[in-house]
Structure 1
Amino acid sequence: MRRLVAALFALAGLALVGNGLWIHAKALLAQVLLERAFATTVATGQVTRPWPWADTWPVARLTVPRLGASVIVLAGSSGQALAFGPGHVERTPDAGERGVAVYAAHRDTHFAFLRDVRPGDVIVVTRGDGRVFRYHADAATVVRFDATGIDPLASGYALALSTCWPFDAVAPGPLRYLLHATLEMDAVH
């Protein structure tokens, strides 16, 4: 009986480890497919889905050179999109356009690097049309999810990166960390 119980525990442990490895393998494969889809979008000018059944597609690449951070930004901010990368929040302008472009992602995955961004850091956004825009991080704020104060139609050219706060929390909460950045003026068209 002891051997049977031990064997069942060993099988359960292997199943859990296998499931964890499978999740990480899927995440790595998704990043490869997102990179390819974004490269194809930039090269052809045609929206390219990362896999046939995807309900989102790459719209930009966001990099913070000082940190070596780079992520592919997806269309929309649904839970399905955010599972694979940052999402471009609906009804906000594209990066480089007048107003505030807003990207959101999870604090423990794709936007974990935000905790290390400092005022003055350069944030580079390459859109799917190949245009490149350089922003400078201005400041960060912590606000309630329903009181961000972001006006996507504000004058000027800005970028807001949003994630849950605090970074090391294990449960969801009502607070959001917002990193504000301003477009370099010579990059405005």
Structure 2
Amino acid sequence: MRRSRGWRIGLCSTVILTGVLLLAQGSYMQAKAYFAQYLIEQAWRQTLEDKQPHKPWSWADTYPVAKMTLMTADDLALVDSTFYVLSGASGRNLAFGPTMVQGGGLLTQGGNRIIAGHNDTHFSVLNGIKPGRVIIFQDANKQKRQYRVSSTQIVHETDNSALMPSYYDQLTLITCYPFNALQTGSSYRLIVRALPV
């Protein structure tokens, strides 16, 4: 009887300790993600001051190249989401924010600016986006340009037409599709195109 009770207490203690450790790990990851966004914002402010790239932390292999603001559908004076666009479209950089795939660099002049983001984090706001939504794009020159979503399209990952260079100014946002999928690694992409207002 005593042995059985001791075994139960030990099992309960192990389950509780495991739960506390998992909760602490999840909280640590959330805190780390929020702190990373703060550091990226600070790096962007420095970039606006001197027009030079600034890493958000010393070992980063990326830096913010633009700020992108998605306005709400109903009121153009209300901000829905703000993103700091990072240079270098690697998986590691995508964990911290949308990344510039093409048309990058600090001082960009027109062309097809292609920005990729994860559909379960930063670009989750693109779920159900409709033509007409306004995006404000700010570069390192402090120049702000308004773009209006002109079209959305779902394509297979082998369709590279969205990556083609363009002579006219446009934003192309790319994320995996469908949203809220049970498995990662979808072979479809949502392409959102926006043209200058």
Relative to the length of structure 2, the TM-score reads 0.87
Larger radius of gyration: 2
> What's 2:191 paired with?
178
User: Separation in 2 of the partners of 1:93 and 1:128?
Assistant: 11
Counterpart of 2:178 (choices 161, 166, 169) is 166
Q: Is the 8 A contact 1:88 1:102 kept in 2?
A: yes
> What's 1:136 paired with?
148
> What's 2:34 paired with?
28
AA in 1 matched with 2:42: R
User: Separation in 2 of the partners of 1:28 and 1:152?
Assistant: 34
**How far has the Cα of 1:99 moved from its partner?**
2.4
- Could you say what secondary structure the match of 1:111 adopts? helix
Q: Is the 8 A contact 2:135 2:146 kept in 1?
A: yes
Q: CA separation of 1:11/1:42 partners in 2, compared to 1, >3 Å: closer, same or farther?
A: same
**How far has the Cα of 1:128 moved from its partner?**
2.2
User: Separation in 2 of the partners of 1:7 and 1:119?
Assistant: 54
Write out per-residue CA displacement over residues 48-80 of structure 1, whole angstroms, 9 at most, x where no aligned residue.
110101110001111012252101110011011
Matched residues, number: 183
Matches within 5 A, 1:23-172: 23-66=29-72, 68-89=80-101, 91-92=102-103, 97-172=109-184
Relative to the length of structure 1, the TM-score reads 0.91
**Gapped regions of structure 2 (runs ≥ 5):** 1-6, 73-78
AA in 2 matched with 1:161: L
RMSD, aligned α-carbons: 1.6
Write out per-residue CA displacement over residues 120-167 of structure 1, whole angstroms, 9 at most, x where no aligned residue.
111111112322121110010001112031244223111110101001
**Gapped regions of structure 1 (runs ≥ 5):** 185-189
Q: CA separation of 1:151/1:10 partners in 2, compared to 1, >3 Å: closer, same or farther?
A: closer
Q: Within the alignment, does 1:15 sit opposite 2:48 as a pair?
A: no
AA in 1 matched with 2:167: S
AA in 2 matched with 1:18: A
